[in-house]
Chains A and B, each alone.
Chain A
């Protein structure tokens, strides 16, 4: 058995690409945004990106939660750890290397003795808190709807078990508001986008119907896609067909996982625990109204932001020369950045798009696109 059969369904993909080539109208361009960083990676890693018809251009979207997060959650976390020696901070591994504006990171803080741990499930943090009442366990929670339910299940467990030393530092983001921001041209304002490859994992939670108002109001087709090259090629074909017929529906290519209603239990948890922030500053996309979540006031005793008086900042600085903001706004390709693959590598990231495995710079670097002739 080879990688071929298991991961890529290649015998199925190439005929789809042939159909796509026949379907595209050679007299026009198709500008398609893949919202999700996981999709960007799959396009690049499989080589699918090089097999597409020349008049389809991909705009790499902001669906990388680590990348679009501003610096202050990490800065606040480091500050918190320095001021409170009894705090243990848990977060996802991806966050460990995210550089602050001053070049610090949670990994650096850990090497200075701060108690920072990476986890795979937030329940680990609750379990630790239950066993160690003498410490304060803070979970730095990030991500779109995909990672929100695990945070809330952990919070639910802490409440059920009356664990008073577990706190959530909620930096969860709202896909809908990001999409609205893009469609309202609050960002990406100089790029005309003809259609969207919708996020597969987020849609598991929200359901496909969630995206219908956007397709209708803004007249843009959205196809919710899985993550294999087959899924992506088929999603592109479905999008091009809609665009050619001047249609704007939400279609689901990822039918084996996504339905119309989504995960109702998860949605109920979100309604119970979360409310929208008035505004949140995204890296690359700027200030967007109601675009992030926080815990409702009645859960303030579990809210690290309230308990430790953490303040969100609106300032976003970047390393000198770093084009992350432009990359996130679809205005630059990673290979256009002068730091890319030189000063900025996954071991020593200067910008967030190189940190996360979902980031466009990381996708390009890991596929060695900086080494390709013509892209130097």
Chain B
């Protein structure tokens, strides 16, 4: 087989069949894919189903702590997890640019497959399209995840959010955003910051099970903590108050932000969950999170206040001043002055 993707690989004929048998089936091998049908007939599930989809276009595709493939698995699994669902199945859609290296394609597929195998979440169907050179940026991946909430199990409900509830996060913010930026050659940033990209379904599932009164969870990906908190606040029409000195951040991330003029609250995360929970359970939730993988640096970072004229997120600065945390707008640009 050639060592690069060409247009024939997307044309559905012999070339795709070769690609399927040489690249996809060996890594994802399972009873669903082996049927080689137009779709997969799935098992029964005794509960409510949750469906989510996400597309991944990160550039560069390999960065410290992760890859496009790992991101495509974790992103969708985490979306299911914060909904209270157990991830059951994934689909995989690829848009590949003509000329893309087969070796790199294999590497991303292996990253996904390793996690599928580890967590027993099979890829049950997929699709591959090849676009002409210059019409894509190497490789785009879409994953759709199907998850289940067993009957009687809790699911998020922002309407239950009440004044006094606590806002919790499972660790340091901004690592993913800076890890990706640091790999852009034009920024010439030399730092050792790794992406936090990680599957959080075990942590989330355990929390939903032990603390069914949790109001909601969200994963602060694009737009970061600023975006997620504004989304929730506007859904439940409440004011949130977070405290700058409680928000965990690695010194290296904070330093890059200071140097480049980035707002850490708006940086993307790929291994974080924000939990909103009743005040009286918050300490127990934090203790439980701290005892689990990806939760060691969990921390209460703020609280829900009574709704005011606007739903908004306030931040009490380290100095005791106050500012509003607005919705992120546009791409963050390094300052020039």
In the assembled complex, which residues on chain B have CB atoms less than 8 Å from the CB atom of A134?
Answer: none
Give Cα distance in the complex from A144 to B335, angstroms: 13
Given contacts A3-B254, A4-B245, A6-B258, contact A120 B321 (CB under 8 A): no
Contact among A48, A93, A357 for B321, CB-based, below 8 A: A48
Give Cα distance in the complex from A63 to B261, angstroms: 16
CB nearest to B332 among chain A residues? A357
Give Cα distance in the complex from A5 to B254, angstroms: 10
The answer to whether B337 and A36 touch across the interface, beta carbons within 8 angstroms, is yes
Q: Is B17 an interface residue (CB 8 A)?
A: no
Give Cα distance in the complex from A372 to B315, angstroms: 12
The answer to whether A365 and B326 touch across the interface, beta carbons within 8 angstroms, is yes
Q: Is B310 an interface residue (CB 8 A)?
A: yes
The answer to whether B337 and A7 touch across the interface, beta carbons within 8 angstroms, is no
Which range holds the interface residue count of chain B? 35 or more
Scan residues 1-20 of chain A and give those whose CB is less than 8 A from a CB of chain B. 1-8, 10, 13-14, 17
Convert B322-333 into 0s and 1s, putting 1 for each residue whose CB lies closer than 8 angstroms to a CB of A. 111110011101
In the assembled complex, which residues on chain A have CB atoms less than 8 Å from the CB atom of B264?
Answer: 3
Given contacts A2-B247, A121-B188, contact A49 B325 (CB under 8 A): no
CB nearest to A51 among chain B residues? B321
Q: Is A26 an interface residue (CB 8 A)?
A: no
A173 → chain B closest CB, angstroms: 11
Main secondary structure of the interface of B (DSSP, over half): loop
The answer to whether B251 and A50 touch across the interface, beta carbons within 8 angstroms, is no
Given contacts A3-B249, A6-B258, contact A146 B326 (CB under 8 A): no
Given contacts A6-B251, A10-B245, A372-B324, contact A51 B319 (CB under 8 A): yes
The answer to whether A64 and B337 touch across the interface, beta carbons within 8 angstroms, is yes
Give Cα distance in the complex from A310 to B249, angstroms: 47
CB nearest to A14 among chain B residues? B319
Convert B238-250 into 0s and 1s, putting 1 for each residue whose CB lies closer than 8 angstroms to a CB of A. 0000001111111
The answer to whether B319 and A7 touch across the interface, beta carbons within 8 angstroms, is no
The answer to whether B337 and A37 touch across the interface, beta carbons within 8 angstroms, is yes
The answer to whether A146 and B312 touch across the interface, beta carbons within 8 angstroms, is no
The answer to whether B254 and A1 touch across the interface, beta carbons within 8 angstroms, is yes
Give Cα distance in the complex from A90 to B330, angstroms: 20
The answer to whether B319 and A371 touch across the interface, beta carbons within 8 angstroms, is no
In the assembled complex, which residues on chain B have CB atoms less than 8 Å from the CB atom of A366?
Answer: 263, 326
CB nearest to B325 among chain A residues? A368
The answer to whether B319 and A47 touch across the interface, beta carbons within 8 angstroms, is yes
Give Cα distance in the complex from A357 to B336, angstroms: 9
The answer to whether B318 and A358 touch across the interface, beta carbons within 8 angstroms, is no
The residue among B245, B312, B319, B322 with the most chain A CB atoms within 10 A of its own CB is: B319
Q: Is B317 an interface residue (CB 8 A)?
A: yes
In the assembled complex, which residues on chain A have CB atoms less than 8 Å from the CB atom of B280?
Answer: none
Convert B8-25 into 0s and 1s, putting 1 for each residue whose CB lies closer than 8 angstroms to a CB of A. 000000000000000000
Q: Which 10 A-B pairs have the closest CB atoms?
A: A47-B321, A368-B324, A6-B254, A47-B317, A4-B245, A10-B318, A93-B333, A4-B318, A367-B323, A346-B329
Could you jot down 28 A-B contacts, CB within 8 Å? A1-B249, A1-B250, A1-B251, A1-B254, A6-B251, A6-B254, A7-B257, A7-B318, A8-B318, A10-B318, A36-B337, A46-B318, A47-B316, A47-B317, A47-B319, A51-B320, A92-B336, A93-B333, A94-B333, A118-B333, A124-B186, A143-B336, A229-B319, A366-B326, A367-B323, A367-B326, A368-B312, A368-B323
Known A46-B318, A51-B319, A147-B337; further 12 A-B contacts with Cβ < 8 A: A2-B249, A3-B318, A6-B254, A7-B258, A10-B320, A38-B335, A47-B317, A47-B321, A66-B336, A93-B334, A369-B324, A372-B324
